[in-house]
Amino acid sequence: MNEYMKIYERWLAQEDLDPALRQELESIKGDDTAIRARFERRLSFGTAGLRDQLGAGCGRMNIYTVRQATQGLAQWITSVGGQDKGVAIAYDSRHFSSEFALESARVLCANGIKTYLFDALRPTPELSFAVRHFGCVSGIVITASHNSKEYNGYKVYGEDGGQLPPDAADVVANEIKAIDIFNGVKLMDAGEAEKQGLLTYIGEDVDALYLDKVYEQSIDKGVISRMADKFSVVYTPIHGSGNKLVRRILDRCGMKNVIVVKEQEQPDGDFPTVQTPNPENREVFTRAIELAKENGSDLIIGTDPDSDRVGIVVRDNDGNYITLTGNQTGVLLSEYILYMRRQMGSMPENPVLIKTVVTTEMLRPVAEAYDVELMEVLTGFKFIGEKIKEFERSGDKNYVFGFEESYGYLSGTYVRDKDAVVASMLITEMAAHFIEKDMTLYDALQALYVKYGTYCEGVRNFYYTGIDGPTRIEGMIERLRTQAPRSFAGVKVSAVRDYSTGTIKYADGTEAPTNQLLNNMVYYELGDSERGGWVAVRPSGTEPKIKFYFGYRDPDSAAAKIKLEEIIAAVVEMAGAE
């Protein structure tokens, strides 16, 4: 009998197995493909957590895999003496999020670990804040971010409020591997844990403290009030956790006209109005755009289910509604924050902007214009959080703002993860600022292209599900790594960065280090300083997909767009993606 079949039979043999999971397992009897999909592999504790489809088996998200992961986390916490510091737990609107959060709390409490559990769904950044506020050793948030409704996930945070760093995550992963999923997990009744003082529920008092810190990041605290009668904002939480706190912070700033998309207002794990609740996709804004047209709104804001990412739609001069990319929004925010801090004399000494490797190169001339240092980190907001921690320890630099192209932004250091609540506030403040100048955000973006040049970017995602998916993805990356061409669409490859080896190979044959942690990513530098761009390819850490990132700059905006599409086509063809 195959090993995966033995594990399947063991699950079926558990007398107290969850009835719904048992029904699922009974329904796939004799279906080797379905059984393999659930039992041939275990969920891997990657990117400081778990994420996969909901369902039965060691390869799916369910109460047993969540308990096992939490037991591993508990054993690491015990080994570092963090029981009394405790763990904070939050969750979003997805199916089984509240159940997984409670099961996590039961395991922690059974291991003698103080636990703080939010009494209802909350944004992920508030979990980061709670970890820091309570002085916890760790935090857990149950979410699959912007994945489709079939998914859920489990993210672990460290005591600084950032996602668990790689060294600690490796220890937790090894602990999990050694735990028997049924017999190796401790559990305590939640009521008993509360009686013993091990379990504490977090309520609105922490919301207020968190929002105080968000409000502190406002630069011109009067501009929204001054312009409140002159504009409106359409807002959608996309069935997630951002609704209450985003609206509260906008109200606090004096925003009068916030029009909420009613069909997407209430938390709903089915996400019934969208295919995926991802603010990167224009389709999530279909109803919001209709509302904006009805009300003459120039700005639409949408936050994802756990409210750490935010997307916006703006109206152009012809009345069309344009979805901005994460890069465009990030550059607008960077310019606004740096400009206003300089104007108001609040720029700190030795200021730093941080972007990820695959985020727009347009941020370089912005940083230079304001004499601000620009740092680049690997993909993942945890690396921005680690830089903030470094600055606090050394005291020689001050974090001002950071973002990643995938719609994640953070101003301030009160949390150590991307925060759609503060981003929504600053985007609205920025819109009010430009309205005061008789400009829209669309006008502001065009002005930046005049000031810094036209930068065009694109992202292409290719999904490969099934058992052979990872092999196919790795084959594509390896092809691009080992068969690097001299040009793409007529644009010369000036350098190839191989982050798996930490080396940069230039066209003239010289080499240099990337000065980054090793990572499975290939990055091409293209062209020269006036006309050129970049291509990056990496596997997703949370989904069965390979991601291609592209950028191109040219003084001629039309030429930039055409050349970018040509480069995209050439790279995708070479990689064999389809």
Active site residue 346: no
Q: Which two three-digit tokens encode residue 438? A: 């008789």
145, 218, 232, 297: the active-site residue: 145
Q: How far apart are CA 570 and CA 217, in angstroms?
A: 43
The answer to whether the beta carbons of residues 156 and 108 sit under 8 Å apart is no
DSSP state letters, 278-330:
-TTSGGGGHHHHHHHHHHT-SEEEEE-TTSS-EEEEEE-TTS-EEEPPHHHHH
Cβ-based neighbours of 224, under 8 Å, separated by 6 or more: 250, 253, 254, 255, 428, 429, 432
Tokens encoding 490: 């007529």
User: DSSP state, 163?
Assistant: B
Q: Residues of the chain whose pLDDT is less than 50?
A: none
pLDDT computed for residue 401 by the predictor: 98
Token representation of residue 226: 């001054």
Tokens at residue 79, please? 């080994």
Sequence-distant (≥ 6) Cβ neighbours of residue 250 within 8 angstroms? 224, 233, 235, 258, 424, 425, 428
* Lookup: tokens for 224: 């929204």
Nearest to 412 by CA among 132, 191, 186: 132
- pLDDT score, position 564: 94
Do the Cβ atoms of 341 and 218 come closer than 8 Å? no
Alpha carbons 477 and 560: distance in angstroms, whole number:
26
Tokens of 77: 């916490």
397 vs 383: CA distance, rounded Å = 16
For residue 156, give both structure tokens. 């672990």
- The answer to whether 374 and 364 are in contact (CB under 8 A) is yes
pLDDT at 246: 98
Task: Give 67's contacts (C-beta < 8 A, 6+ positions apart).
Answer: 103, 104, 106, 107, 181, 185, 187
pLDDT for the residue 278: 95
Go through the domains of the chain in sequence order and give each one's CATH number.
Answer: 41-205 (3.40.120.10), 222-452 (3.40.120.10), 454-575 (3.30.310.50)
Contact criterion met (CB below 8 Å) for 306 and 127:
no
Amino acid at 152: N
DSSP 103-155: HHHHHHHHTT--EEEESS---HHHHHHHHHHHT-SEEEEE--TT--TTEEEEE
Tokens (6 digits) for 534 = 């970049």
Q: Please enumerate in sequence order all residues whose Cβ is within 8 A of that of 412, keeping only pairs 6 or more positions apart, or say none.
A: 213, 214, 216, 217, 422
- Which pLDDT score, from 0 to 100, does residue 577 have? 80
CA-to-CA distance for 158 and 169, rounded, in angstroms? Answer: 9
The most distant pair of C-alpha atoms in the chain lies apart, rounded to whole Å, by 73
SS3 of 408-447 = EEEECCCCCCCCHHHHHHHHHHHHHHHHHCCCCHHHHHHH
